[in-house]
Chain A
Amino acid sequence: MRRLLFKVVSSVVVVVAAASITFFAQLAVPGDRATALMNLQTGQEKLWTEQELAPLNQKYGFDDPLVVQYLDYVTGLFRGDLGTSYTQKRPVTEVIGGQLLPSLTLTVAALAVAWLLAVGMTLLTVKRGRILSSLGSAWEALTASLPHYWVGVVLLVVFAVQLRIFPIIGGTGALGTVLPVLTLAIPLAGFLGQVTRDEFTHVLEQPFVTTARTRGMSDLGVRLRHVLRHAVLPAVTLSGWALGALVSGAVIAENIFGRPGIGQVLVTAVNTRDLPTVCGIVLVVAVIYVVANLLVDLVYALIDPRLAAR
């Protein structure tokens, strides 16, 4: 119980710290927020006079001391108020809210598919003779190093333009989600596969594997019930990180397939110096990281009972 409480408190601290660091990092970016807003509204890149900037400074409190701006922001956080987007004139919760579900669908699905691909490849190719094994590890090395943009465009040309199986601008529909998911899942699968493969190879050489085999267990049984359980631990650890990274890294897949999501919103918000929106998204991503890592801890305990007992 105390351990759980500690986890929760430290999670809140992490999240608030993330929001605070983003807040100040954004302020440290060269350039004035009111100027950026005026230029965004007019498509220009010039300076403006004090009189021209005054209404904006007044409206958003850009002239207030930093401490005041920061305290306003943090107290707002605890009231669930993330502020109002400078550019879209909507509450940040609404800006993010509308984009969160498509992003989560995309990233969770990508992680799941990546796992399926990685585990499948591992079971089928590790120590299956030199040719299969090297094919497997070559495939993983190749896919792990593929840039998302390249994967996305190749998938688009092959499956959307040539074969016409999936739409290009699929929105958030199930069919339209397939290619964006694969765009993110394929490189990640390679990455997870590489980690799992090393561990899998190592575990296959352990004495308890030999013991299991002497009990007459089938090869597939040994691999599934004994070896895999050990071998997935490093990949599980990485999954917590991967989920967070996918949320913010999804922007490329979103761009190619015209899909909504917070990745897009984040890039635009950073470009337009829309501070409340940037902070809000970082906050959400931080929460996802924290939750993902809590989940990883739980999954660890499931896989390795020794951890749960401690």
Chain B
Amino acid sequence: MRRTIAGLALLALAGCGANGGAGASGGGTPTTGGTIIYGHVQEPPCIFGGWIQQAYISRQVLDGLVTMDEDGSVKPWLATEWTLSPDDTKYTFTLKEGVKFTDGTPVDAEAIAWNFDYWENHGGNGTAKVSIDPYFKGAKAIDATHVEISLHRPYPPFLPLITQGYFGIQSPTAFKSRGEKENCEKPIGSGGFVVKEWKHGEEVVLAKNPDYNSWPATAKHEGPAIVDEVRWKFVADGVARYASLSTGESHVVYEVPTVNWKDAQSRYQTIRYITPGKPVSFFINTQVGPFSDKLVRQAFAYGADRKAAVEAGFHGVIPYEGNPSVSQATPGYDAEVAKAYAYDAAKANQLLDQAGWTARGANGTRTKNGQPLAVKLVYGAGFIFTHEGATVLQVLQEQWKQIGFAVELVPATQAELWGGKYSDPSTFDATPSYWTSPSSAILWIVWRPSTKDNPNFNNRSFFNNDTLAKAIDQANGEADPAKANALYGEAQKIIQDEAAGIGLYTQNSTYAVAPNLKDVWLEKSQGEPVFTDAYFVK
């Protein structure tokens, strides 16, 4: 039903295109002031945290120590420069002088050290923690403007990883003196905006920080935000969100419905960001069930035309990703690895025969020793997978059926999935998910072997492989990027060869921006929108 409606809305919207954009790239006279209305999808529980939905908005309020440039290099932000000790384990950051949090306290070395300690040791941010564990040792202030961060071992991905929004610096004074509620709703940073008001269920009003003096090196202008306010609205429905651009009720919208993408390109400025890190790919349960046999996993990978299904399901807007472990936007991505397991039904059938699944049941399902080749595919319905994603899964299910798999699609609610209902190896055979990260070091986070003393619950394929672990570990400590990437490539190849994961598509962020609003851009590490440089033209 939703697809039909979206199509109807598209027609209707196209009908009133005459007064829409056209001059998307045209000039106009820049103005100062004004209010940007931004249509976002999900409302986070707090403005700061380890979920990307929180990073989107905390990026507006909190500054980071460093930031990532378009080419993936790390550039100054609150830190103007940094040095690395000869043994590659101590970073000394020099802080910009005269920067103050919006509560008036200084952004000094003590404050930076406190933030690292908060994330790492006091539950401040689980995602920040897992990004730098187990390398992080400690942070200490040398003097007011120099902070030293020491690691247990060399870890070159440290710098790119701390460019993520999870590493936004907060005022320790404000944090310690206020209650949980204030810290949740109005974190105090030194960013270009401050949280003025959060109308729950409706919008967060961000007001310009008039004293802003700590813009990143990647900023498009120097100085405080040009506009006065950003009204960060939550509009969960895609049709309404996209339509609000055409009526002038919003200036920027997030997650343009793929069915509207072509229309958006012709009328607005569009930005598509392919998220680095783990793409949307299947974890394959290598411990329990039919997929404990590598041949069956490989047959599953060969057995459906994933590329065609993704292209059809997402109207050609979202790219197919054949590499299950890192996406094409990630430094160190191995494009060769992504080519494996192109659709080949004959090969899939041959592998299944070889694995002993030779008999066929009444409905065409293969059997072995009387057991049917049944696979339980659990997916997060409505939050990891949109209805478009679910359509892709249904197409694949039909193709897998042809080669003898009985795939049961199990839509899981957020409460079930996040509550841990499908955590145990006995509860599923395959499950798709993604994890954004600007570095191939994500491989260690996800694929580190799980041991009794140090379990890795992120490794949802339950795939423990020492050669793989060694390759990633070496890569993480390798100072030469070429060598590191070769090792990361080796790791990707092992995961692909073993079919411990199966690729599907890249996680994307799409934005459409009204023609009269210029210089809205996305930061590089996670694709968060930046509004401090944006201005309206007349």
Task: Check if B418 sits within 8 Å of A161, measured CB to CB.
Answer: no
Task: Check if B419 sits within 8 Å of A32, measured CB to CB.
Answer: yes
Set of chain B residues within 8 Å of A38, measured between Cβ atoms: 126
Report the bound CA distance from A310 to B379 in whole Å: 58
Task: Check if B43 sits within 8 Å of A160, measured CB to CB.
Answer: no
Per-residue 0/1 for B1-18: is the Cβ within 8 Å of any A Cβ (1 yes, 0 no)?
110010011001101100
- CB proximity of B232 to chain A, nearest CB, Å: 12
Within 8 A of A (CB), among B243-258: 243-244, 246-247, 249-250
Set of chain B residues within 8 Å of A40, measured between Cβ atoms: 45, 51, 418
**In-complex Cβ contact of A255 among B125, B181, B233, B236 (8 A):** B236
CB-CB under 8 A for A32 and B415, given A90-B181, A98-B200, A258-B234: no
- Residue A164 interfacial (CB < 8 Å): yes
CB-CB under 8 A for A149 and B2, given A43-B51, A167-B249, A168-B240: yes
- Residue B421 interfacial (CB < 8 Å): yes
Task: Check if A153 sits within 8 Å of B414, measured CB to CB.
Answer: no
Task: Check if A149 sits within 8 Å of B1, measured CB to CB.
Answer: yes
Report the bound CA distance from A162 to B11 in whole Å: 11
Set of chain B residues within 8 Å of A154, measured between Cβ atoms: 8
Task: Check if A169 sits within 8 Å of B201, measured CB to CB.
Answer: no
Q: How large is the interface on B (under 10, 10 to 19, 20 to 34, 35 or more residues)?
A: 35 or more
Task: Check if B416 sits within 8 Å of A30, measured CB to CB.
Answer: yes
Q: Among the listed stretches A118-126, A259-267, A293-301, which one makes contact with chain B, having 4 or more residues with CB under 8 Å of it?
A: A259-267
Report the bound CA distance from A256 to B6 in whole Å: 12
Chain B residue, CB-CB nearest to A95:
B200
CB-CB under 8 A for A31 and B249, given A45-B380, A88-B46, A88-B184: no
**In-complex Cβ contact of B201 among A44, A153, A261, A270 (8 A):** A261
Set of chain A residues within 8 Å of B39, measured between Cβ atoms: 169, 258
Task: Give the residue among A49, A153, A261 with the most B Cβ atoms within 10 A.
Answer: A153
- Residue A157 interfacial (CB < 8 Å): yes
CB-CB under 8 A for A161 and B250, given A46-B458, A171-B202: no
Chain A residue, CB-CB nearest to B184:
A89
Within 8 A of A (CB), among B406-434: 413-423, 433
Per-residue 0/1 for B21-48: is the Cβ within 8 Å of any A Cβ (1 yes, 0 no)?
0000000000000000001000101100
Task: Check if A256 sits within 8 Å of B237, measured CB to CB.
Answer: yes
Task: Check if A147 sits within 8 Å of B1, measured CB to CB.
Answer: yes
CB-CB under 8 A for A89 and B181, given A149-B2, A169-B233, A273-B415: yes
- Residue A191 interfacial (CB < 8 Å): no
Per-residue 0/1 for A34-58: is the Cβ within 8 Å of any B Cβ (1 yes, 0 no)?
0110111111111111000001000
Closest CB pairs A-B (n = 7): A31-B419, A260-B201, A43-B51, A87-B45, A46-B457, A39-B418, A42-B126
- Jot down 16 A-B pairs with beta carbons below 8 A, ordered by A: A30-B416, A31-B415, A36-B418, A36-B420, A39-B417, A44-B126, A44-B458, A156-B240, A157-B8, A157-B13, A162-B12, A169-B235, A259-B201, A259-B202, A260-B201, A271-B413
